[in-house]
Amino acid sequence: MGYFELVVGLLFLLALVDLSVGVSNDAVNFLNSAIGSRVASRKVILIIAGLGVLVGSMFSSGIMEVARKGIFNPDMFTFADVMIIFLAVMLADVLLLDLFNTFGLPTSTTVSIVFELLGASIAIAIFVVAFNPDGGAVLDYVNASRAGTIIGGIGLSVVVAFLVGTAVQFVSRLLFTFEKKNHSDFIRIGWSAVAFTVLSYFLIIKGLKGASFVSADAYEYIYANTLVISVIALSVWGFVMWLLNRLGIDVLALVVLGGTFSLALAFASNDLVNFIGVPLAGFSSWQAWVGTGLAPDQMTMEALKEPVQGNTLILVGAGAVMVITLWFSSKAKSVTQTEVNLARQDDGAERFRPGPISRGIVRTFITTGETAMQAVPKPWRIGIAERFVREKQRTFDLKRPAFDTLRASVNLTVASILIVFATSLKLPLSTTFVSFMVAMGTSLADQAWGRDSAVYRVAGVFSVIGGWLLTAFAAFLMAATFAALIKVFDGPAIVVLAVAAVLALVRTHHYHARRSQMDQLMVVSSPDKMDKDTLTLRQHFMKSLQYNAEVLDNVLKILVKRKRKAAKKLRKALDADIAATRETENEFVRRLNRIQPKIEPWLMNQLDVLSVERDLMQSASTLADLAGEHVLNEHTPPSEAVTQRLQHLRGLFRNAFSDLSGIELDPDKRVSATPIQDISGELDALTTCVLEDLYSGERSTQNTSIMLGIVLEMRDLHRQLQRTSAW
């Protein structure tokens, strides 16, 4: 097997991985509304979405030109250079999408593939121009104007989707309210008929575009008779919805399931090119070159400008891979959960931490809203407020949907309308961006972002949007770098990059698995079994004790051995762990609302556990900061006497933590007072050594101040251990 045959094989192997990581990210587009509203079991939702993906994959044969000639001009590149571009793009795409999936952030696979193609082709074009005086300008090799159009379209679609989603949901809620008893048959049937009409048209415009079995003339005829087709569809769907409503079927739930199918179909038919378009283009390039007898660096790739018809078997196989990923990918669940959590109607664990921007935006909106409401007549304010009154329910309910079927149907219908409208105007946009921003707009209009959650939700939206902006930059830079490395180092670079990609995928898989395990600690198998016996923090506190023991051990090791990298790594890890601890505390408080315990020894003991855990984490954080300051600022290392005391304390604390952990493992075991007493005396001795170094002039005031801060935090840690040992 030759060199380029191996490259083609690697491209298809990367395509399999890319299909998996790609659908894990884009599943949020069509799953979040159905899962968030819980119109059916997850299994039923996945079956419907899977059918949409499988059917849609057969409609995608007409869109493969994007990877072949949509971003770069293939006739300007040789076969060898084109294969480098394709390989660099696939390596970058797999790594980038997997990174976003690991952190549960939805991004645009369209934007990533476009800017990867742009970055890789520009990198190779620079090499061509540099070594060929007649090569022309770098921009002659790429379609830079298309990238600019995409950026403009994305920016516009983000704003429009949010505003339209907000407006439509506000009007819809005024019509329907949150109370199902106020939903008249006329409004419910009319809304469902309009929604299904829009979804049907969405399927025709987005789903059938480029399908191999639909001729161009047939598609143009459908497009030209939009009004007639829409009126007929509205009449038919109106009758169907009336009939189903008479049979007692929830027509709004059917809208959600129908929208899930249509968006899944459109996703597969339009976005499949993002995952397999590049490998298929690479295969076509190899087919065009293999029989010519020309050298790889002599044959230019005009062949890629010719029309292409996708292989139905390959398309269906790719669809099957995506369906399997939908069922088994834990990362797909994480990405979907991010959007559902940001849009949920009720209280819950807030994943994102607010910053000055999110706080400022919320503060501005609150002030502006309060001022604007004063200009609205009081009867109007009362009437509007009554339409938004929600039924009072317990805050914590595992079976309760994140939002109702009305909002879910608005999410799907508005997203479909906007995507169809943009398609009719030939404007580029991302289905991910539109779907996400519509969901955020509807949640805002539904007053899901209350005073206690708004800053966290806004911070989450900005995190996702920031990820979108980062996608374009990172995709361009990664693909360009990979292409340059392969161009310069050839085969060895391919091997190194492939191995690095495998290692990165394995590492992110383990990281995501650890995060998932932490999430599982906060999930109870059944609400009916949730009582004082299951609602306990002791298991979590056990892990916290062990973790604090490791932190203190690392802090003392850093001080003695002057490990700068370890200091930076420890500080970074602590930020995430402190946030997780706060999340656990919030979850515990929410679950108290479920069982409503009385003020009794059990509850006081649990609150005491919370208090100690928070103090332990605070001490660990401060110790890491002080140790990092001492080492990173290159302060004079501790004297030999202080070092010996630190080493001794390291062993004593390790023993104390071990003994205290034993209390939880074996309730009959009692901790000896010796380790605790030894720690107290050793801390006094350490304080004396630190002060003697100051009095003798061997250490400066600044140095001593940091060391005394470390001693004081260790004393506080010691007090918490004494408090724990008394339980």
**What is the distance in angstroms between the CA of the first residue and the CA of the last residue of the chain?**
69
Task: Pick 391 or 160 by higher pLDDT.
Answer: 160
Where is pLDDT greater, at 574 or 522? 574
- Comparing 214 with 359, the larger pLDDT belongs to 359
Query: What DSSP state is assigned to residue 637?
Result: P
567 vs 488, residue with greater confidence: 488
Average pLDDT over residues 561-565: 76
DSSP string, 108-149: -HHHHHHHHHHHHHHHHHHHHHHH-TTS--GGGGB-HHHHHH
> 407 near 307, Cβ under 8 Å?
no
pLDDT of residue 527: 37
The pLDDT confidence band at residue 152, using thresholds 50, 70 and 90, is confident
Q: Break the chain into its structural domains and give their ranges.
A: 3-390+413-488, 530-725
Structure tokens at 179: 């109370």
User: What's the mean pLDDT in 154-173?
Assistant: 86
342: tokens are 């940001």
pTM for this prediction: 0.67
pLDDT band at 149 (very low <50, low <70, confident <90, very high): confident
- How far apart are alpha carbons 394 and 685 in whole angstroms? 54
* Highest-confidence segment of 167-171, 221-225, 611-615: 167-171
pLDDT at 89 (0 to 100) = 92
Burial class (CB in 10 A: 0-12, 13-18, 19+), 30: buried
Per-residue pLDDT band at 496 (split at 50, 70, 90)? very high
Average pLDDT over residues 422-445: 75
pLDDT of residue 562: 78
- Show contacts of 290-298: CB within 8 Å, 24+ apart: 290/4, 294/79, 296/4, 296/78, 296/79, 296/80, 296/83, 297/78, 297/79, 297/80, 297/81, 298/78
Q: What pLDDT was estimated at residue 533?
A: 44
How many CB atoms neighbour CB 584 within 10 A?
A: 21
Which residues lie across from 72 on neighbouring strands?
142
Radius of gyration of the chain (CA): 30
- pLDDT > 70: percent of the chain: 73
> What is the H or E stretch that residue 24 is in?
helix 3-37
| 603 or 457, higher pLDDT | 457
Per-residue tokens: 307: 């029309």
Counting beta carbons within 10 angstroms of the beta carbon of residue 635, is it exposed (0 to 12), middle (13 to 18) or buried (19 or more)?
middle
Distance of CA 247 to the CA centre of its chain: 40
pLDDT (mean) for 436-465: 78
Query: Which pLDDT band holds residue 522 (cuts at 50, 70, 90)?
Result: very low
Q: Is the pLDDT of residue 239 over 90?
A: yes
Which DSSP state fits 488? Answer: H
Task: For the chain, give the percent of residues with pLDDT over 90.
Answer: 8
The owner of tokens 């645009």 is 108
Which of 6-20, 211-225, 316-330, 428-442 holds the top average pLDDT? 6-20
Task: Tell me the residue type at 693.
Answer: D
User: Mean pLDDT throughout 51-65?
Assistant: 68
As a whole number, mean pLDDT of residues 37-57 equals: 85
Q: Residues 389-409: pLDDT tens digits? A: 766 554 444 456 777 888 888
Highest mean pLDDT out of 22-31, 63-72, 570-579: 22-31
Predicted confidence band of residue 81 (pLDDT cuts 50, 70, 90): very high
Q: Which residues lie below 8 Å from residue 351, measured CB to CB, with a gap of 6+?
A: 104, 338, 341, 456, 460, 583
Rounded CA separation 446/425 (Å) = 30
- Specify the pLDDT at position 673: 46
Q: What is the mean pLDDT of residues 649-659?
A: 80
Q: At what angle do helices 3-37 and 431-445 cross, to 10 degrees?
A: 20
> Residue 101 pLDDT more than 90?
no
Model confidence over 460-494: pLDDT tens digits?
A: 777 777 777 788 888 999 999 999 999 999 889 99
CATH topology of domain 530-725: Methane Monooxygenase Hydroxylase; Chain G, domain 1 (1.20.58)
Residues 153-173: what's their mean pLDDT?
85
| H-helix segments, 177-311 | 185-202, 216-224, 226-246, 251-271, 273-290
What pLDDT score does 68 carry? 57
CA triple 443-444-447, angle to 5 deg: 90
Mean pLDDT of the chain: 76
Q: What is the pLDDT of residues 274-293, one digit of tens each?
A: 778 888 888 888 988 987 88
Average pLDDT over residues 86-114: 82
